[in-house]
Amino acid sequence: MAHHWISIACALVFLISSSMASAAVVEHSFHVENLTVTRLCKKQVINAVNGKFPGPTIEVQEGDTLLVRVLNKSPHNLTIHWHGIFQLLSGWADGPNMITQCPIPPGKTFTYKFKVIKQEGTLWWHAHVSVLRATVYGALIIQPRSPKSFPFPKPDHQVPILLGEWWNADIIQLENEALAVGGGPNNSDAYTINGLPGDLYPCSQNHTFKLNVVKGKTYLLRIINAALNNQLFFKIANHKMTVVALDAAYTNPFLTDVVVVAPGQTVDALLHADQPIGSYFMAASPYASAPSVPFPNTTTRGVVVYDGATTLAPLMPPMPAPHDTPTAHHFYTNITGLVGGPHWVPVPTEVDERMFVTIGLNLEPCQENATCQGPNGQRFSASMNNHSFQSPTTLSMLQAFFFNVDGIFTDDFPDKPPVKFDFTNTNNSNNMSLLFAPKTTSVKKLKFNSRVEMVLQNTALLTIENHPMHLHGFNFHVLAQGFGNYDPVRDRKKLNLVNPQARNTIAVPVGGWAVIRFIANNPGVWFMHCHLDVHLPWGLAAAFVVENGPTPWTRLPPPPRDLPKC
Ligand code: C2O
């Protein structure tokens, strides 16, 4: 009798443990090396991971530990950033160059190790040094921990859709040349879907992404904007999509015929193959928010082919016009967070730190006797609260924080702009007394667990523009967005404290503002910057230093032993 009971108990234990698949350590090796690819009629050598472009898709379950051993076989200094990962107590693995680490030199390795907790959905990884992310990027997908599932009917298939940008030239050289003379970025030659430009570009007929579908099935599209300098509209002819997550945070289902995605952002959307058997183009084209900034006005497309389709003339979706801000704004502002869904975090109702931060372009004086190619013969620059961020060169900011090293950064990043002016009045756009922003490496210090509210306000200096502002290490709630100058009395009433979106990248409306909140519950140094790539070297960035908490498990552990030397 007794041993009968024991076997029942054993069976129970077995049942319980097998239904809760335990957290795993997922290991990957990244070899960053040269890869020869042909695009747009031209053979080119690019930097790529494991001989793949885009790089490998990493897939984990929520709760897993990810370990990626990076071997830098490229000729450039390298870091990899895990865009959107919270990096709770693992800030050393975040990856932005000179913020949390010095770069991995050519020939050397570094192992990024971190736990993926309390988030699921679509994120991505990319190089975070110079402009290497143009080709060094890939998807990072966090599946629900089994036996849990999605908060929506389980899709039949999951498909990463990585939108990118392609130059028919050595992009690193192009960027260095542009930065040397202070000019604007070179337009890319193509947009891409999963590395392929599609048939609207020269010699690209065979470089068209194809998604085979079966009528009646559902596909979870994991859309990532890995483009450098452009926001994108994404459509599929005759099909609507149901958005279910943004930036790996679940949303209420949102039915739409167009997805809008800014660099750094991701959109999870369900595609139901519910149309007549046939083939349909999927396409991405630019959302150009600034009225007069040049942009590549081209379209990348792939094709959705139903099983059994015979026609070879796919339907093309009509794309929004590039300056169609109302369509972008509608998408960006009408999606709400899934209250009570997996990993939903309530909005902080009290605030400890209130910040009002201007974001926009500036000028930097041209060096004496030099010729510069920015506006008015000066150099392009950019700033947050008139501080134009400059990376340190001798030690990373996180090392300076951890080892108490002076002289790497200052903690005087201001809570408001030094001068108050009519921020979005275009009459100010060439006001010389406002245009120049000093270069600084300044941070805002935050006490552990402080609740931060930030109003991000676009300025009209040089031009108004929608800037996708990305915060490392945290998701924030997006409480409200609008055009013109933020009005603390009028606009405070618009704050959504109930079911706002949670995001890691907010596309602040062109000539407008956004209000975000987050809780600084992770000690370390956390970068915040515009994800339009060229705005980063121009200085549209700042950093938070979040102090250690009171307990051993709220303190940043020491750096891993293989952290690259400076
Ligand atoms: Cu995806 Cu700091 O970047």
Task: Specify if 15 maps to a domain.
Answer: yes
Question: Whole-number mean pLDDT of the chain?
Answer: 95
Q: Which DSSP letter does residue 129 get?
A: S
Q: Is the pLDDT of residue 9 over 70?
A: no
- Span from the CA of 504 to the centroid of ligand 1 (angstroms): 10
Which residue has the least CA distance to atom 1 on ligand 1?
83
The pairing of strands 450-458 and 353-364 is: parallel
One domain, residues 250 and 139: no
Q: Which atom of ligand 1 is nearest to the CA of 83?
A: 1
Mean pLDDT of 377-387: 98
Q: Do 371 and 326 sit in the same domain of this protein? A: no
59 within some domain: yes
Domain match, 308 and 428 both: no
263 lines ligand 1 (CB under 6 A): no
What are 245's strand-pairing partners? Answer: 250, 268
Residue type, 126: H
Closest CA to 314 of 275, 267, 258: 275
Separation CA 406–CA 419 (nearest Å)? 28
In this structure, are 422 and 544 located in the same domain? yes
Distance CA 343, CA 225 (A): 23
Determine the residue type at 309: A
Q: Are 300 and 368 members of one domain?
A: no
C-alpha 532 to ligand 1 mean position (Å): 10
Query: Ligand 1 centre from 84 Cα, in Å?
Result: 8
- pLDDT, mean of residues 134-145: 98
**Distance between CA 528 and CA 387 in Å, rounded?**
13
* DSSP-assigned beta bridge partners for residue 481: 514
Confidence band for 5, pLDDT divided at 50, 70 and 90 = very low
| CB-ligand 1 contact for 529 (6 Å cutoff) | yes
Task: Answer for the pair 114, 82: CB distance below 8 angstroms, yes or no.
Answer: yes
Same domain assignment for residues 482 and 418: yes
39 lines ligand 1 (CB under 6 A): no
389 C-alpha vs ligand 1 centroid, how far in Å? 15
- On whether both 184 and 104 belong to a single domain, the answer is no
What is residue 532's DSSP assignment? S
Residue whose Cα lies nearest atom 3 of ligand 1: it is 83
Whether residue 191 sits in one domain with residue 81: no
Q: CB of 389 closer than 6 A to ligand 1?
A: no
Write phi, then psi, for 82 (nearest 5 degrees): -105, 85
Residue 127: both structure tokens together: 């190089």
- Assigned domain for 109 exists: yes
Domain end call among 301, 333, 365? 333
- Quote the ligand 1 centre to 507 CA distance (angstroms): 14
For ligand 1, say whether the CB of 124 is within 6 Å of any of its atoms.
no
**Using CA atoms in the order 555, 25, 150, 53, what is the torsion angle rounded to 10 degrees?**
100
Question: How many whole angstroms separate alpha carbon 127 and alpha carbon 137?
Answer: 7
**Cα–Cα distance for residue pair 133/534, rounded to 1 Å:** 12
**Spatial contact of 359 and 469, defined as CB atoms under 8 Å apart:** yes
Q: Which atom of ligand 1 is nearest to the CA of 529?
A: 2
Residue 341 belongs to a domain: no
Is the shortest distance between the CB of 264 and ligand 1 below 6 Å?
yes
- Once rounded to an integer, what is the mean pLDDT over residues 183-204? 97
Ligand 1: nearest atom to the Cα of 84: 1
What confidence tier does 229 reach under pLDDT thresholds 50, 70, 90?
A: very high
Q: Give the number of the atom of ligand 1 that is nearest the alpha carbon of residue 263.
A: 1
| Cα–Cα distance, 474 to 430 (Å, whole number) | 35
Q: Beta 218-225 vs 157-166: how paired, if at all?
A: parallel
Model pLDDT for residues 248-282, shown as the tens digit of each residue: 999 999 999 999 999 999 999 999 999 999 999 99
Instruction: Calculate how far, in angstroms, residue 46's C-alpha sits from the geometric centre of ligand 1.
Output: 20
- Are residues 339 and 347 in contact, defined by beta-carbon separation less than 8 angstroms? no
Q: Would you place residue 311 in the very low, low, confident or very high pLDDT band (cuts 50, 70, 90)?
A: confident
Closest ligand 1 atom, residue 472 Cα = 2
Centre of ligand 1 to C-alpha 534, Å, is 12
The minimum-distance atom of ligand 1 relative to the CA of 96 is 2
- pLDDT band with cut points at 50, 70 and 90 for residue 20: low
Q: Is 96 in the pocket of ligand 1 (CB under 6 A)?
A: yes
- Distance from residue 18's CA to the centre of ligand 1 (Å): 37
Atom of ligand 1 minimally distant from the CA of 536: 2
Atom of ligand 1 nearest to the CA of 505: 1
Are residue 116 and residue 162 in the same domain, yes or no? no
Centre of ligand 1 from the C-alpha of residue 531, in Å: 6
| Structure confidence at residue 10 (pLDDT) | 43
Same domain, 406 and 514: yes
- The answer to whether 163 and 197 are in contact (CB under 8 A) is no
Number of H helices, E strands in the chain: 6, 32
Q: Is residue 192 part of a domain?
A: yes
CA 81 to CA 421: how far, in whole Å?
A: 36
Residue type, 136: V
String of DSSP letters for 344-395 = --PPPSS-SEEEEEEEEEEEEPPPTT----SGGGSEEEEEETTBEE---SSS
From the CB of 81, is ligand 1 less than 6 Å away? Answer: yes
User: Ligand 1, closest atom to CA 133?
Assistant: 1
Across the range 12-37, mean pLDDT stands at 76
Name the domain count of the chain.
3
Residue 345 in any domain: the answer is no
Residues paired with 196 in a beta bridge: 193
CATH code of the domain containing 302? 2.60.40.420
Q: Give pLDDT tens digits for 516-551.
A: 999 999 999 999 999 999 999 999 999 999 999 999
Of the residues 302, 333, 364, the one at which a domain ends: 333
pLDDT at 16 over 70: no
Provide mean pLDDT across the span 195-212.
97
pLDDT at 453 over 90: yes
Instruction: Grade residue 153 by pLDDT with cuts at 50, 70 and 90.
Output: very high
Q: What pLDDT score was predicted for residue 21?
A: 62
207 pocket-lining for ligand 1 (C-beta < 6 Å): no
Q: Are residues 124 and 196 in the same domain?
A: no
Q: Which residue has the tokens 């389980």?
A: 154
535 in contact with ligand 1, CB cutoff 6 A:
no
Distance CA 526, CA 445 (A): 10
Last residue of a domain, one of 97, 119, 143: 143
What pLDDT, on the 0 to 100 scale, is given for residue 13?
Answer: 41
Task: Select from 190, 195, 217 the least CA-distant residue to 56.
Answer: 195
Question: Which residues lie closer than 8 Å to 299 by C-beta, 6 or more apart?
Answer: 191, 198, 200, 283, 284, 285, 319
Question: Measured from the CB, is residue 83 less than 6 Å from ligand 1?
Answer: yes
- Same domain as 386, residue 321: no
> d(Cα 467, Cα 529) in Å, to the nearest integer?
9
Backbone angles phi, psi at 506, to 5 degrees: -110, 125
Please count the other Cβ atoms lying within 10 Å of the Cβ belonging to residue 389: 27
Cβ-Cβ contacts under 8 Å for 191 (sequence gap 6 or more): 163, 164, 165, 166, 197, 227, 230, 232, 284, 285, 286, 296, 298, 299, 300
Q: Quote the domain boundaries for residue 241.
A: 157-333
Asked whether residue 8 carries a pLDDT value surpassing 90, the answer given is no
pLDDT at 19: 43
> Tokens in use for 372?
């510069």
Q: Above 80 in pLDDT, residue 4?
A: no
Three-class SS string for 214-273?
Answer: CCCCEEEEEEEECCCCCEEEEEECCCCEEEEEECCEEEEEEEECCEEECCCCEEEEEEEC
Q: What is the pLDDT of residues 126-138, one digit of tens each?
A: 999 999 999 999 9
Residue 561 lies in a domain: no
The answer to whether position 482 is within a domain reads yes
Whether this prediction's pTM lies above 0.85 is answered by: yes
